[in-house]
Amino acid sequence: MGKTTRETSVAYIVRPMTADDIDAVCVIEKSSFSMPWSRESFEREINENALAHYFVAEMDGKVVGYAGMWMIWDSANVTNVAVLDEYRGYGIGTALVKTMADIVKENGAQTLMLEVRRSNERAQSVYRNLGFTVCGVRKGYYEDNREDAILMDLDVTKDREEE
Ligand SMILES: CC(C)(COP(=O)(O)OP(=O)(O)OC[C@H]1O[C@@H](n2cnc3c(N)ncnc32)[C@H](O)[C@@H]1OP(=O)(O)O)[C@@H](O)C(=O)NCCC(=O)NCCS
């Protein structure tokens, strides 16, 4: 897979994350975020947090992306979404978030919420394409550079095909 001549589609599956995926997820996490979660955080999420739902995207046996959320009553909060740099732009991030929205809906909950850095236009575009809309701003939310967090939410009960 070259960097300049990319295929237009790639084959991958999205499945629930297990403890065996944590090493690969930590690699994605460290390469994607300025304030990455620790291994212990992921271990707690997978082994102890009953509210947590995590998924990975796997391509030829390699974990290339992951996403997670906490589902509480009628709404869910996205904790993280990330795809390895060389696998971005193939729809994997979209598929991971879509999987979570489907799970939220299947569980009878209504809203999937998230926060995203104001400068992260790529992630915002993924969320907007899935139907998320801006519902607020947290001024100076991120500790490393005091960047604003844009709050977005999606009503998973709305059928976008019908809009
Ligand atoms: C955000 C992220 C998960 C998206 O994953 P991905 O697999 O590349 O996403 P997709 O391929 O499904 O969609 C990418 C979209 O961004 C768009 N895009 C790409 N570069 C962009 C840019 N600079 N500005 C705006 N949109 C951009 C693409 O056009 C595509 O939209 P399209 O489907 O309408 O063409 C990935 O970029 C990533 O891991 N980023 C680092 C971690 C991160 O920021 N996570 C989100 C935290 S809130």
For the domain that residue 120 is a member of, what is the CATH number?
A: 3.40.630.30
Pocket test for ligand 1, best of 9, 25, 125, 138 (most atoms within 8 A of CB): 125
Nearest residue (CA) to ligand 1, atom 38: 82
Q: Is the CB of 82 under 6 A from ligand 1?
A: yes
Torsion of CA 42, 43, 46, 51, to 10 degrees: -70
Distance between Cα 119 and ligand 1 center (Å): 12
Q: Considering its fold, how many domains does the chain have in total?
A: 1
Residue 3 lies in a domain: no
Pocket test for ligand 1, best of 9, 117, 122 (most atoms within 8 A of CB): 122
Report the SS3 class of residue 88.
Answer: coil
pLDDT in tens, the chain (163 residues): 333 445 567 899 999 999 999 999 999 999 999 999 999 999 999 999 999 999 999 999 999 999 999 999 899 999 999 999 999 999 999 999 999 999 999 999 999 999 999 999 999 999 999 999 999 999 999 999 999 999 999 999 987 655 4
Residue 5 lies in a domain: no
Query: Which DSSP helix (H) or strand (E) runs through 94?
Result: helix 92-106
Q: Which two tokens stand for residue 12?
A: 């991958």
On average, the pLDDT of the chain sits at 93
Q: Is the CB of 31 under 6 A from ligand 1?
A: no
Residue 34 lies in a domain: yes
Tell me if 83 sits within 8 A of 57, measured CB to CB: yes
Residue 2 lies in a domain: no
Residue 123 lies in a domain: yes
Catalytic residue (choose from 54, 66, 90, 127):
127
Q: Is residue 142 annotated as a catalytic residue, yes or no?
A: no
DSSP codes joined into one string, 33-61: -SSPPPHHHHHHHHHT-TTEEEEEEEETT
Domain that holds residue 118: 13-162
Tell me what pLDDT residue 135 has: 98
